[in-house]
Structure 1
Amino acid sequence: MQQAARTKIDAGGVSFVVQHELWDGNLQDHSDQGVVILVEANDTTLLRFNCFDIEKSYVYGPDSKNRLCRMDPTVDGNPIMWSVKQIRENLTTMLTEAGYEDVAGSVNMDEVKGALGEVEACARETYANGRNTVKHNRGHDIFEAGNIRFGLELRKQAGGDGGLAIHVLADLAGTPGRTYCEETELLAFDCFRDAPHYHYGPRNKNHRIFWDRTLVPDTLEWTLNRFKNKDLKNMIERAGYPGIAADIDQDLIDSIMPSLEAKARELQPGAEVEVMDGPATPNLVPR
C-alpha cells in the first residue's frame, strides 16, 4: 500500500489524521485509492473512515475490535461529507461502540466541531491532489485499431525489474493530426519479470492489479487473450472511458492481432533474463 504524507489536526482530546492511500489488487483487499480520515488518541487509531473510489466504509476500533461497516453511496452521498457529518453528530457514540468509553467521556465536542471545517477541507484537497496517477511512454511500436491504438515498449525500472509493456491509447480531445489533440493511455499492461501488473486508467483512476503468478504464469499470454476475447470494451469502460468503449471495433482489433502478437513475443525477454541491458526507462511523468 502506498501512503502519502499524513496531515494531523488536534482538537478536543483527539487527533484527526488525513492521508491518501493507494491499494493494489492482490496486494491489498482490492485495487482502489482515496482518502482516509482517522480518529486517534494515545497513539491508537480509534475510528477509520475510508473515502475511496470504490471502498466507502468505516471501522470501529481498527487497532482492537476492527468492526467494519459499509456506507451506502446511493443514499449517503459523498463519503467525505458523510464521514465529517458522523464525526460532528455521533463521535462520542461511535467511540463508545469502538470500546473507548474513556476517550468518549473526555472529548471536548465544541473544539472538535470547530476543527472539522479544516478536516473536511484537508480531506477534499487530498482526495483531489493526492491521487496517484502516471504518464507512461506511449511505446515504440504502434498498432492502430480504429479509435484506439496499441503501443509496445520494452521497459526497465530503476530497481532492475522490467519487461514488455503494452499501452492501450486513444485520442480523447481534438482532431487527430492537430497540435491540440490529446492522446491518453486508457489501460497499461506491464508484463514484468518480478512484479507484473496492469492499470485501469493510468491517468484517471489508476487502479492497479498485480497478477497472481500462481494462476497466471504467462502474463503476456493473459494480456493477449484479453484483446482476443473481446474484453477490452469492458476494461476501457471500467477505466472511466465509456465513450471510447462504445466505439470499439473488434474486427479491426482482430485484424491486427497476428502482427501485434508476433512483435510482442519478439520483444518480451525470456524468464531467464535477470537484468535487461541498457538504462532504466522512466515514465514521462512519475505520478
Structure 2
Amino acid sequence: MKERGDTIIGEGTIKFGIEYRDLLHDQGVCIHVLGDVSEDDEHELLRFDCFDHEPHYHYGPQQLNERLMLDKTTAGDSLDWTLGNIRSRLPDMIDRARYPELAEAARGADLSAEMDELESQARALAVAGRRTVMHDRGDVILEAGPVRFGVEFRTLANDRGVAIHVLGDIGDEEQELLTFDCFEVAPHYHYGPRAKNQRLYLDMTTTPDPLGWAL
C-alpha cells in the first residue's frame, strides 16, 4: 500500500511527502519520495523513517521494499543524514529503487526549492510532533540516594495497576527517568517519558506478573 504523508511538497514529477509517526516504541519524522509513473499512477519511490531508536529507509516500498537500517554511531542524526542524501544522492537512490526513468527525471529537474521547503518543514515537525507524557510523581516517595521512587495505584478507563516512577534531579529540576505501569491488561514501561518516551509493552504470557518483573 502506498503511503504519501500528511503534507505534500512540490507539484512536479518528483514530490515529497512528510508526516510524524508515533509507534509508541519509536517515533520520528517520516519522509516519502513520490514519483509519477504515469499521469494517474503515483508511486512511493523511497521512504525514510527518521526514528529515535531504529531509524531506517526503504528502496521502492511498494514493490522492491528493500529496507536498510541506519547505524546511529556512524550516520549520526537520522534526519540530518536523510536530508543530506536527498540533496546529494536522490537520483541514484531512485535508480536503485528500480525507477530508472524517474531517476533521470530527478537528475534533470531543479528540486532545490522543494528540498529547502522539505528541510524547513521536517526540522519544524521533528520538534512540534514529538510525543511525550507527563505522569504524576506518585503518592508515596521513597528516597534512594541519587534517585527516588514514586509509587501509586493508577485506575484508567480500561486498565489499572501499580505504577512505579523512577525520578532524578537534572540541575534544579526533577525529571521522570523511567516509569513502570504494572497494569492488569496492558502492562508496559517507559524510557524517558518526558523526553524520548519509548514505550514497550510486556507479553503477559511470558511475563504474567508485571509488578514482580519490574521489581
TM-score, length-scaled by structure 1: 0.65
Structure 2 residue aligned with 1:23: 23
C-alpha distance in 2, partners of 1:172/1:91? 42
After TM superposition, the structure 1 stretch with the greater mean CA deviation from structure 2, 41-50 or 208-217, is: 41-50
C-alpha distance in 2, partners of 1:107/1:169? 51
3-state SS of 2:94 partner: helix
Output the amino acid matched with 1:204: A
Structure 2 residue aligned with 1:125: 124
Quick check: which has more Rg, 1 or 2?
1
Give the structure with the larger helix fraction.
Answer: 1
Q: Is the 8 A contact 1:162 1:192 kept in 2?
A: yes
Q: List per-residue Cα deviations over 1:234-268 (Å, max 9, x = no partner).
A: xxxxxxxxxxxxxxxxxxxxxxxxxxxxxxxxxxx
Residue 112 of structure 1 deviates from its aligned partner by: 1.9
Q: Is the 8 A contact 2:91 2:107 kept in 1?
A: no
Output the amino acid matched with 1:154: F
Structure 2 residue aligned with 1:28: none
Residue 162 of structure 1 deviates from its aligned partner by: 2.2
Q: How many residues align?
A: 206
Output the amino acid matched with 1:6: D
1:70 equivalent in alignment to 2:64: no
Which structure 1 segments of 5+ residues have no match? 25-30, 175-181, 225-287
3-state SS of 2:28 partner: strand
1:84 equivalent in alignment to 2:83: yes
1:175-254 to structure 2, matched below 5 A, reads 182-224=173-215
Structure 2 residue aligned with 1:36: 30
Q: Is the 8 A contact 1:12 1:112 kept in 2?
A: no
C-alpha RMSD over aligned residues: 2.1
Give the structure with the larger strand fraction.
Answer: 2
3-state SS of 2:64 partner: coil
C-alpha distance in 1, partners of 2:98/2:48? 17
Residue 59 of structure 1 deviates from its aligned partner by: 1.0
Q: Is the 8 A contact 2:148 2:166 kept in 1?
A: yes
Structure 1 residue aligned with 2:142: 143
1:6 equivalent in alignment to 2:6: yes
| Structure having greater relative contact order (Cα 8 Å, sep ≥ 6) | 1
Residue 109 of structure 1 deviates from its aligned partner by: 4.9
C-alpha distance in 2, partners of 1:44/1:213? 40
CA 1:20–1:173: 2 relative to 1, 3 Å = same
CA 1:114–1:108: 2 relative to 1, 3 Å = farther
Structure 1 residue aligned with 2:38: none
3-state SS of 1:138 partner: coil
Percent sequence identity is 44
C-alpha distance in 2, partners of 1:141/1:212? 28
